[in-house]
Amino acid sequence: MSSDHALLIVDIQKDYFPGGRFPLEGIEQATRNAQRVLSWFRAKSLPVIHIHHEFQDAQAPFFVPGTKGAEIHEAVAPLEGETVILKHYPNSFRETALQETLEQKQVRKLTIIGSMSHVCIDATTRAAADYGYDVTLVHDCVATRDVEFNGATVQAKQVHAAFMAALAFAYAKVVSTEEWLG
């Protein structure tokens, strides 16, 4: 990989884990995979950017500022010198320094991992592609949960598959951890 390539870790935070305020299906396995991708980037001394989501409302259902649940999970915690960007919206580019940071680092290629498939990963991946980045999304480093629409529950596995399929169609190369590391 070239030096214009960065890893974007989106919202792997404690509230998404068992015991948190908004646990996701498969978050532990997704995070183990994320650790492998993160280790690869660190070994190559390539840029790693952590996205940290906090809602602006103290009454939010999760990621409340100042709570343990809003903290980045220790499994992928930033090392000294790695960039951490605070966001308040699903799209990691919206009202943040992400675009400026990527430009300063001369990044043209992004590998994206994190949570949730149908919200922040979807919004950030689409925005990155719209900004002209060459985007790879590692699908088994991403987790989500069941959602409800119009009285019907959509299982997390189907939510994830639908969003990965849509992103693979027009926004990113969507691969597994094994494919990515291979």
Structure tokens at 124: 């950030």
Rounded Cα distance between 35 and 75, Å, is 7
Structure tokens at 29: 């396995």
Strand-strand pairing, 134-143 and 173-175:
parallel
Dihedral of alpha carbons 92, 123, 177, 170, sign:
negative
- Greatest Cα pair distance, the chain, in angstroms, is 48
Rounded Cα distance between 74 and 72, Å, is 6
Query: Residue 52 in contact with residue 85, Cβ under 8 Å?
Result: yes
Q: Which residues are catalytic?
A: 11, 87, 120
Structure tokens at 165: 């399929």
Strand-strand pairing, 152-154 and 147-149:
antiparallel
